Each structure stands twice: as C-alpha cells, then as structure tokens.
Structure 1
Amino acid sequence: MKEQRWLGDGEQRAWRAFLEMSRRLDHALTRHLQDEFGLSGADYTILVTLSEAPDERMRAYELVESTDWEKSRLSHHLKRMEHRGLVCREPTDNARSPEFCLTPAGHQAIVDAAPAHVAQVRKLFFDVVSPTEAARFTATCEKILDALGGTPA
C-alpha cells in the first residue's frame, strides 16, 4: 500500500489561501452583478459567451462545451433566462440542439453590466497584484489547467 503524502505546512497554506480567495472573489463579483444589475454569475457567463459568439448565437451543445456545464444545468438555466427575456431559443434542423441567441434585452444587459464587472475585477484582482505577479499567476493557472487536461472552458 502506498503511503499517503499529506500536504506540508506551506502547501496547506497555499491550498487554503487559493480556496478562500476563489470563494470570496467569486462571491464578491457575483454579489455585485446581482445587486447592481439583477444578474447571477451564471447569467453573466451565458450573456458573455453568447455576446462573443458570431451573431450572438450558439447551439446548445456549443454552450455546454464553452461553459463546461452539465447539459441539464444549462437547459434549466437557459429556460429561466428565456422567461426573463434575456435569451431566445430558435429551432434548427437538428431538434435536439436548438440555437440560443441574445435578445435585445440580453444584449443590453451585458452592455450595461460588463464595464462595471470589469471595474470590479480590476479593483479586486489586478489593482492588488503587480503585472509580474499577474503573469506568474497566469502561468501557474495555465500549468494546472494543462495538467487537468481537456479543453478549457
């Protein structure tokens, strides 16, 4: 039987700091989107993804791939966004993979929210670290993502 390799003090500190930072940063950014624009973090993810797609539209399977969400989660969330008038569902020649697009309200929501969201990201992340620290952090994240394999979301 292989001996368990527990985390050393420095490793434990790094891991817990990463988890705490990720949790608190996600909470702060999500809270800002909700309070200022009535959008959840999931709403924002979908709006950004669609806004960056050609003609602001994507097939459902493409959204699953780009968000790295479970199909059922995406389906339920898109239905809620559709009811709120942020996205529309359009049939395609493949009934199992409809196309989703931004509505004018969805387009306006991302136009309104994106500048304030970027300002929050800058305030909470990039204004806190130096360009050198940001570059090292990026390299570290990319190294871990490579080790995880698969296509990044």
Structure 2
Amino acid sequence: MHDLLVSQAGRSIQSHFGLSATDYKVLAELTRASDDRLRVLELAKVLGWEKSRVSHHIARMTKRDLVDREECADDGRGAYVRITPTGRVALETAAPQHVADVRRLFLDHMTPGQTAILAEIADTIIEKLESQQ
C-alpha cells in the first residue's frame, strides 16, 4: 500500500511540477531543519538512505538549482545541503498538490474512526522502532 501510494503521488508531482517524489522529500526535510540546511549524514539519517544515495541525488538536484552544497567551516570533511530559493519555490508550488493527492489517494477513503485507529497504530510502531535505534 505504501509503495503504491508513494508511486501515484510521485507521478502526480512529477507530471505537474517536474519534481520526483524523492526531490520533494529532500526539499521538505531541508525546510524542516534550522537554517534550511542539514549535514549530508543528517539528511541521510532522516531520509533512511545510504550516504552514497544522498550524495548522488543531491548532485542531480544541484544541477537543477534546487539545492546547493556548503562546506562545513568547522569540519573540512563535512558538507551541508541547503535548499536554494529555486528549490523553495518548487516545494511551495508543489505542496498544495501533494496535500490534495494525499487526501484523494489516502485519507478520503477512511472514516474518522479508521484514521484515529491508524494514527494510534502508527504512533505505537514509530515509538517502538525509534527506541531500537
């Protein structure tokens, strides 16, 4: 179910705005961070990706001016990934469609009671998984 939902929502964002589902996810995570930037390893952890996958994806997004890399002043080996003004506009433009897609593809098919039960189940699983990290 998750993969099907992500695939369909991703196709919608791609066709309307030229952003892949992974582009959208990276941009959204960067805007949640202070200063709209994260270290590459922090971004990898938040996304649940390997560092090499993040590096390759960030390189593609940099070519499209959605993000840029900034060297860490205090650590010559590290780098920050930062959302650019172009990336922010792309995310803000696509966000209403993404919200509409989540509602149309997922939330509209459940009763309020089912939504509450699903939220309770999700909270329990997330709590257990985070305690294992």
Q: How does 1:23-42 map to 2 (within 5 A)?
A: 23-42=3-22
Corresponding residue for residue 145 of structure 1 = 126
- Do residues 127 (structure 1) and 108 (structure 2) align? yes
Corresponding residue for residue 117 of structure 1 = 98
Runs in 1 of length 4+ with deviation above 4 angstroms? none
If the length of structure 1 is used for normalisation, what is the TM-score? 0.79
**What is the count of residue pairs matched by the alignment?**
131
Paired letter, 2:106: F
Q: How does 1:1-150 map to 2 (within 5 A)?
A: 21-92=1-72, 93-149=74-130, 150=132
Q: Which has the larger radius of gyration?
A: 1
CA distance in 1, matches of 2:85, 2:102: 25
Cα deviation for residue 148 of structure 1 reads 3.6
Paired letter, 1:33: I
CA distance in 1, matches of 2:93, 2:60: 20
Structure 2, unpaired ranges of 5+: none
If the length of structure 2 is used for normalisation, what is the TM-score? 0.91
- Greater shift, 92-101 or 77-86, is seen at 92-101
Corresponding residue for residue 6 of structure 1 = none
Cα deviation for residue 124 of structure 1 reads 1.2
CA distance in 2, matches of 1:148, 1:31: 29
Identical counterparts, % of pairs = 41
